[in-house]
Chain A
Amino acid sequence: MNVLKFLKSKIVLISLFLLLLCFPAWSWKIPSSISPPQIPCQEPKFAVDSYNRLHVVYSGEHSGNLEIFYSVIYKGKLLYTINISSNSGDSISSSIALDSNDNPHIVWVDSSLGNKDIFYIYYSDEGWSFPVNVSNNPGDSENPKISIDSKNNIHIVWEDNTNGNYQIFYKRYSNEKWFSIKNLSQDITESHNPCIAVDRENNLHIAWSGSVSGIYDIYYVKRTKGKWTAVLNISNSSQESINPSLEVSNGNIYVVWEEKSDSNSHILFTKYSEKKWITPVNISGDYTKSTHPSIAISNGSNVHVVWAEDRTESDTSEENYDIFYRSFYNEWLSIKNISDNSSNSKNPEIRVNGENHLDVVWEDGGDEDSVILYNRQTRPVARAGSDKKGEKGDFIRLEGSKSYDPDGEKINYHWSFKSKPEGSKAELSDPYAVDPSFTIDVAGTYVIELLVDDSSDKSNPDTVVIYDENKPPVAVATSDKTVALIGENIKLDGSCSYDPNGDSLSYLWSIKSRPRWSTAIISNNQSENPSFKPDCAGEYVLQLVVNDGELDSDPFELKMFVKEYAIDFSCSRTTGLAPLTVNFNAQVFTISSHKIKNYKWDFGDGRTGTGKSVSHTYLKPGIYTVSLTVIEENDEEISYRITKENLIEVVKVFPPLNVAVERMEDRSFTHIKYVNKITWSENPENEDVVKYRIYRRGFNQNDDEFVLIATVNGNTFEYLDKEIGKVRGYVYVVTSVDSHGNESSKSEYAIEW
């Protein structure tokens, strides 16, 4: 009875203690700059790869116009930065996503063709792709966002005013082709600032700010199994709701946005869970200048939100925006200022990395001296040491000394047995020591868990396994380059290799295959981090085998491609009406001391040109392959060639725009017949379209199986397909035909039901 009384009296204290255990008070570091010096940078967006490297894109001023820069950051250090837009127009509003191989895919707004278009580029083993104009329409296309699903399909949304008012357009790349653009906000007068997320089932979730009757609300739509749901108003407020950010996790949808009225703005949060949306809640508190929120979800469905907020009290004082952070662990925790400086901090973005830590980047400073700042929320890391072999009677010493705290604070150790063989009475000598020990009293497998804390933050657990058998080690090799130039120093790294029993490893690197004339060697080939200088162009296969003193690992192969010269070229446009004038510009990357003697162009139409930058006019319609040959100034004439197949398409007539298909019910009282309504719009670049042709094929058929189902006159922009078979769906294409009978390429749309 007395015990119960005591517990009742202490229940508040016990609850507080449990809360402290449950809510990690993770700490934020001091922000650091990650953008190159002397380039004013804005609007950062980023993604985190499987090695916890940050891939950041942002716009920066370079030689008088705005370019898109791409930087990679690892452990807070800038590894490298490149200019990926590099053209004569202003490039802004970038967005980035990573595919399953950690390759970056980037979209941005580009004005190099006059109007604003959405450009897309990606990186693969073959280097950076050629930019693709994704929107390719006469209107202004802005604020793109990109997302990639688990099948590496690319999904892009943006706002577009091609139809007069701003609407949300969506386009996807799937099965090695781009699908036609879909308008997601047809019934909404004005739509801006879309955001996109993909869930584990590859369903798409898109939110944006839209206005039907003059007041902006947050609208949401989902694409599941190829079908779009109805557009839903999730803010439903009498105030302006703008700048949404959306994330999905474990079937729940999380959205934050800025609600604005006159001079006040707050951050609102809502969640779709258990088949309903919760009532939006204000998470920014009483302060009235909160803007541009970003949301991320960590393990356990914990919510993390950052936003920019100005807390200067007087209206006359200069504004000073800082970045504020708030999280939800069973309840909303207190708000923290994570930038806390005297300059303006804006446009934050937050992401959760593979270790469940939080990364935040934002733009800091004025228009002319803005930099990209970065902050990471960290916890101590437990390292319980490598797994070991052990037999009955062996004395086992555990090693927790590789545990660390990223902030350098002192850490405490907590060891415990997770499992041990039946009948074992083994005990740890000191569960709170760095290196406790125990004696194996029963043969079998022992699993011991280590947790560390730095008095305020607790680590994730790490385990060590004591086996009663020796297991072969595992070789893992990486390199800083997979594509390199001759003579370039390539750093090899075998440090990710490991032994399940924790034995120390020896390394043996070798060259398994190489180009015929190569005599290159791996320097220091028995070390963990040797280097390699290729001496011939071609493919090399390097091999790493590790040994634990008893057993060899399976060999790990590392492929790399070596080029003498890396040459590339860009062109001002890839398609247009005949006669079409295109500007070509050569780019050469080399570490050779020899100079370039000449550049020779083959334009694919029987004509050639010379010079680093050339202009060529295509007179006849057709698809042309362009080649560039670079000739080195040397005793012997050595040339390097790059060919881009089917690069330029010169047409007499363009395909129609905005092809879309809607499945409709033709209803009588007792019977429903399904019809597909195909709609399209006129391409303003065409001059004399007299008719449109509509083709159709089944979902499982090939492109050469398209069948012409109708021809309509040039003033008609819709067609009803009444002959719907019992199939999974159709792919429709529409072509334009001019008065001379010339037919355009196909503008495609697929529908599934």
Chain B
Amino acid sequence: MRKYLFIIFLCVSLIINLYSGEKKAGFYLGFNHLSDSAFKDVYGNGNLIYGANFSYEVLNRIDIWTSIKYFSDTGETTILKEKVDFRIIPLSIGAKYKIEVDEGLETYFGGGGDLYFYNEKGSDFNTKDSQWGFHLQGGILAKISKRLQLDFNFKFTRVKSKPEENVEINLGGVEGGISILFLF
């Protein structure tokens, strides 16, 4: 139930976003490093993550933002070396506080909540589940024209899940990337 409330809240945020003051929408490309050692044993250090994000200013210097991303990787099981595929679709919402450093240059920090949909498929199993988590983030916003802005973003996420008895995982980790934002 909470999962659906979160998605409704996300949609409402997007609609408000469309009708509020300064709005930003953009595309994101980054690298997602999952911190769980079990992930490293099977998939290595991580892979590219991409997606879209939207934000708008609700108060002076405070933005509310939402994002949807996609992450996938391919690996081998630890003993039998069988091929396995793993995907995450993270939905996130949060707030960030901006500090002007120079004209057209801002730094920010903030935090929020996440809902991770994940799926892992092997030769004889198919795990599908979703889990709540939270994140902290920081970054730099650099205006490159009147309508374009670059967002250099760094994010730490923690999302604990228990897909099976005796199996406890952390889907979160450290993520860094860049967004190109259109202001309208």
Q: Give me the interface of A with B, judged by CB distance under 8 Å.
A: 664-673, 675, 677, 720, 722
Contacts and interface: CB of A to CB of B under 8 A. Distances in A.
Contacts of A666: 77-80, 82
B42 A669 contact: yes
Contacts of A668: 42, 75, 77-78, 84, 120, 122, 125
Given A671-B127, A672-B167, A665 B120 contact: no
Given A672-B164, A672-B166, A672-B167, A667 B78 contact: yes
B78 A669 contact: no
Interface in B69-125: 75, 77-80, 82, 84, 86, 118, 120, 122, 124-125
15 contacts: A665-B79, A666-B80, A666-B82, A667-B38, A667-B79, A668-B78, A669-B38, A669-B39, A670-B86, A670-B118, A671-B127, A671-B163, A672-B166, A673-B124, A675-B79
B79 A669 contact: no
B164 A669 contact: no
Contacts of A665: 78-79
B120 A669 contact: yes
By secondary structure, the A interface counts as strand
Contact of B42 (A667, A677, A720): A667
Contacts of B166: 672
A672 B164 CA distance: 8
B43 interface: yes
B57 interface: no
B128 to A, nearest CB: 9
A722 B79 CA distance: 10
Interface of B: 36, 38-39, 41-43, 75, 77-80, 82, 84, 86, 118, 120, 122, 124-125, 127, 129, 161, 163-164, 166-167, 169
Contacts of A722: 80
B29 to A, nearest CB: 23
A630 B163 CA distance: 74
B78 to A, nearest CB: 4
Nearest to B167: A672
B37 to A, nearest CB: 10
Given A669-B39, A670-B167, 14 more contacts: A664-B79, A665-B78, A666-B77, A666-B80, A668-B122, A669-B36, A669-B84, A670-B118, A670-B120, A670-B161, A671-B164, A673-B80, A675-B80, A677-B79
A670 B36 contact: no
Nearest to B129: A670
Contacts of B38: 667, 669
Contacts of B169: 669-670
Contacts of A673: 77, 80, 124-125
B164 A670 contact: yes
A669 B80 contact: no
Nearest to A671: B125
A719 to B, nearest CB: 12
A-B residue pairs, 9 tightest by C-beta: A666-B79, A670-B127, A670-B163, A667-B78, A670-B120, A668-B84, A666-B80, A671-B125, A666-B77
**Most B CB within 10 A of own CB, among A666, A670, A722:** A670
A671 B124 CA distance: 10
Given A675-B79, A720-B79, A720-B80, A669 B86 contact: yes
A117 to B, nearest CB: 36
Contacts of A670: 86, 118, 120, 127, 129, 161, 163-164, 167, 169
A309 to B, nearest CB: 51
Contacts of A677: 79
A173 B103 CA distance: 84
Contact of A671 (B39, B43, B75, B167): B167
A675 B36 CA distance: 23
Contacts of B86: 669-670
Contacts of B161: 670
**Most A CB within 10 A of own CB, among B79, B86, B127, B163:** B79
**Most A CB within 10 A of own CB, among B77, B86, B125, B163:** B77
A720 to B, nearest CB: 7
B55 to A, nearest CB: 31
B103 to A, nearest CB: 46
A664 B166 CA distance: 14
A455 B163 CA distance: 71
A493 B110 CA distance: 93
A722 B86 CA distance: 22
A654 to B, nearest CB: 30
A673 B123 CA distance: 11
Nearest to B118: A670
A667 B125 CA distance: 12
Contacts of B122: 668, 671
Contacts of B80: 666, 673, 675, 720, 722
B120 A667 contact: no
A740 B169 CA distance: 52
A672 B167 CA distance: 7
A668 B36 CA distance: 12
**Most A CB within 10 A of own CB, among B120, B164, B167:** B167
B41 A667 contact: yes
B5 to A, nearest CB: 25
Contact of B120 (A664, A671, A675, A720): A671
Contacts of A664: 79
A64 to B, nearest CB: 56
Nearest to A666: B79
Contacts of A720: 79-80
A669 B41 CA distance: 8
A342 to B, nearest CB: 64
Nearest to A674: B79
Contacts of B167: 670-672
Contacts of A669: 36, 38-39, 42-43, 75, 84, 86, 120, 169
A337 to B, nearest CB: 56
